[in-house]
Structure 1
Amino acid sequence: MADPVHVCQTLSGKKKKVLVIMGSTGTGKSKLSISLASHFPSEIINSDKIQVYKGFDIVTNKVPSSERRGIPHHLLGVVDDASADFTSLDFCRHALGTLALAARNGNLPIIVGGSNNYLKTLIQDPDHEFRANYDCCFIWLDVSLPVLFNYISKRVDEMLEAGLLDEIREAFVPDADYTRGVRRAIGVLELDEYVRFERENNEASKEELLKASIRRTKENTHRLAEAQREKILKLRNELGWEINKIDATQVFEAMEKGEEHEKLWEEIVFKPSFDIVKLFLEKPYKKNYGGHENEGRRRIGSGGEKRWKRDSCYGIEIKGQFCPCHHS
């Protein structure tokens, strides 16, 4: 783990350091954030608009407490009212307070989640003065959509085996508003029709209806993943956010084939991410909300890994290919 004193000193400069991990649903954002937080004194701030609610732990795919490695997690399962809307402004208000708390604790805040509108409002809205107070490093964990879709479909099946349908049954409210709060989560509305129909005696119809509900859950999650990816591209291409892209497709392909994949994750996901964060914490403030990818680029290392410092972001060149910034 990085020296806590060093991180604290890094955070005590003119601008506080913040790490943001982005990506579509199912790409491994939580896993990466916890792995990085195990090496750098950190606190994790959830930016998923569904995971802020209490309950529905399976359908919202919250990280179990047993897998958090004792790392503080904020804004995860904190909203009691399942029908309340937790807006972007609500997120910003809570996130800014949590960012300040993490800085006072001498820890690196890691914002993690798939709700990119939350991030856009936090960072772009001048009323929040985010840019005036924070130096931000963005890591985008990406997976080729066809490969990701296969993984998502399998994950839905695993969620059903873990008790997803029972979770929906227990929370079922006949006149609930499925356009607000946690009930907007994909899987809740899709399985609602089946739960309503369950009391009927036609087993064949029930089976077909369940299959249709599961299929819609998978298809809608695929659409969500694609939409999230498109939003990240807009943040990079239209708003000029300097985003470090990590392509984890090979890991997911290995998983799909039933091959060993943890070493691959370590090599092509964790290690490059670790190096990006290490460089980010070691270097003084550099603007990373705009600028061209070649702007101010210069070599600052030697050997097998050639480190480059740029005016707008940090990256690692490994095996002759500049990785992982700016490549779609």
Structure 2
Amino acid sequence: MRMSSMIVCKRTQPFLHNIPTGGLDMQILRPQPPKEKVVVVMGATGTGKSRLSIDLATRFPAEIVNSDKMQVYEGLNIVTNKITEEERRGVPHHLLGVIDPTSDFTASNFCNMASAAMKSIVSREQIPIIAGGSNSYIEALVDDDDYEFRSRYECCFVWVDVSLPVLHSFVSERVDRMVEKGMLEEVRKMVTPHVDYSRGIMKAIGVPEFDKYFRAESFSDEETRAILLEEAKNEIKINTCILARRQLEKIKRLRNVKGWRVHRLDATEAFRKCGEEGEEAWEKLVVGPSTMIVGRFLYNFGPKVYGDVTVTRAAAMGTAMAAASH
């Protein structure tokens, strides 16, 4: 059950006392308005960012703002791995499948649209959860040149991490599943003889890799087509793994160089397990700790979390989890 939206998710600023007023700008000394709170779910492709954002949005009064630069486009739902209506579990989503697939969507476009979405969400006394793998877009939004975002919002950054060997194996299997679900046919409908792979959604991993297959398909025998399809799938897997490494490097730079306070959750064991064991590991290693982190951030209860280490007592954990489920 989601938390009551009547709880105010803001942190008040301390009032300044006993400061001489002579020669000082009194505007500076006035209490600053409380900042709205925003949760940002980060991680490499395939680590479960969308899943975690839904898990959190069903525990807190929240709506989700997509920050994946390919998922903002309309179409190619299999290729871009858009979360389905059923998987959204009734949680409102913004910037998901709303942009013309032939247009270019820039970081500036994202900042403008995400800011508008967040203001709308906050006006309904809901918490914006920004979730997606385009960390350059998130950085442009949070660390804008005029400091407008930081002056208005306070952020809680949650990073879902999976060890690269395990993630690469998962990504490989996911590409195979995407092809089985109709990825090839989905791309075929979008490709034209003079397609430009440098614009819009056509830049997405999983589109240009099929170009050689489509060009040779009409005059190739079945064996040749099978070989070309396998080559395309392998190229998609390689490019996706390269993307994952770049995304991880970006997150580490934001954390270690720019000083963003990012809470890391290691989901590796959840990815190693299957079925019910995998679900239990996800709840224990990802959903539970992230609920604690976000609960403390929003309402100032629960354990303190520093980087990868959670400092808590069992009683405090039980109290936080109980509160977050009502």
How far apart are 1:131 and its partner, in Å? 0.6
CA contact (8 A) 1:280 1:314 kept: no
Give the match for residue 262 of structure 1: 279
How far apart are 1:126 and its partner, in Å? 2.6
CA contact (8 A) 1:276 1:316 kept: no
Aligned equivalents of 2:289 and 2:265: distance in 1? 8
| Residue identity opposite 2:79 in structure 1 | V
Aligned equivalents of 2:11 and 2:200: distance in 1? 35
Q: 1:209 to 1:186 in 2, by over 3 A?
A: same
2:80 to 42, 45, 60: 60
Q: For residues 162-216 of structure 1, what are the alpha-carbon distances to aligned partners after superposition, in whole Å with 9 as ceiling and x for unaligned?
A: 1001101111111111011101110100012212211114222211111111100
Corresponding position: 1:4 with 2:5: yes
Q: 1:104 to 1:146 in 2, by over 3 A?
A: same
CA contact (8 A) 1:44 1:72 kept: yes
Q: 1:116 to 1:149 in 2, by over 3 A?
A: same
Segment of structure 1 superposing worse, 137-146 or 116-125: 116-125
How far apart are 1:129 and its partner, in Å? 0.6
Give the match for residue 320 of structure 2: none
Aligned equivalents of 1:308 and 1:155: distance in 2? 35
How far apart are 1:318 and its partner, in Å? 5.6
2:69 to 49, 59, 68: 49
Aligned equivalents of 1:308 and 1:246: distance in 2? 14
Give the match for residue 269 of structure 2: 250
1:152 to 166, 171, 182: 171
Corresponding position: 1:122 with 2:166: no
Corresponding position: 1:282 with 2:302: no
Aligned equivalents of 1:222 and 1:316: distance in 2? 30
Give the match for residue 27 of structure 2: none
Aligned equivalents of 2:193 and 2:305: distance in 1? 57
CA contact (8 A) 2:46 2:171 kept: yes
CA contact (8 A) 1:168 1:192 kept: no
Aligned equivalents of 2:313 and 2:299: distance in 1? 23
After TM superposition, the score normalised by the length of structure 2 is 0.85
CA RMSD of aligned residues (A): 2.1
CA contact (8 A) 1:21 1:111 kept: yes
Q: Secondary structure of 1:246's match?
A: strand
Q: Percent identity?
A: 47
| Residue identity opposite 2:304 in structure 1 | W
How far apart are 1:26 and its partner, in Å? 0.3
Corresponding position: 1:27 with 2:54: no
How far apart are 1:241 and its partner, in Å? 0.3
| Residue identity opposite 1:200 in structure 2 | F
Aligned equivalents of 1:319 and 1:266: distance in 2? 18
Q: For residues 209-265 of structure 1, what are the alpha-carbon distances to aligned partners after superposition, in whole Å with 9 as ceiling and x for unaligned?
A: 11111100000000001110000000011100000000000011113xx67210111
Aligned equivalents of 1:41 and 1:128: distance in 2? 26
Q: For residues 19-67 of structure 1, what are the alpha-carbon distances to aligned partners after superposition, in whole Å with 9 as ceiling and x for unaligned?
A: 0000000000000000110010101000000000000000000001121
CA contact (8 A) 2:71 2:97 kept: yes
Aligned equivalents of 1:309 and 1:21: distance in 2? 16
- Runs (4+) of structure 1 exceeding 4 A deviation are none
Give the match for residue 310 of structure 2: 316
| Residue identity opposite 1:238 in structure 2 | V
Structure 1 unmatched ranges of 5 or more: 284-299, 302-306, 321-328
| Residue identity opposite 1:268 in structure 2 | L
Aligned equivalents of 1:105 and 1:259: distance in 2? 36
After TM superposition, the score normalised by the length of structure 1 is 0.85
CA contact (8 A) 2:73 2:99 kept: yes
How far apart are 1:316 and its partner, in Å? 3.0
Give the match for residue 24 of structure 2: none
Aligned equivalents of 2:147 and 2:85: distance in 1? 31
CA contact (8 A) 1:20 1:137 kept: yes
2:56 to 21, 28, 36: 36
How many residues in Structure 1 have an aligned counterpart in Structure 2? 293
Aligned equivalents of 1:170 and 1:2: distance in 2? 43
Aligned equivalents of 1:187 and 1:308: distance in 2? 41
Aligned equivalents of 2:235 and 2:11: distance in 1? 45
2:192 to 161, 173, 178: 173
Structure 2 unmatched ranges of 5 or more: 13-32, 315-326
Give the match for residue 289 of structure 2: 272
Aligned equivalents of 1:86 and 1:23: distance in 2? 21
Q: 1:9 to 1:218 in 2, by over 3 A?
A: closer
Compare CA radii of gyration and give the structure with the larger one. 2
| Residue identity opposite 1:104 in structure 2 | S
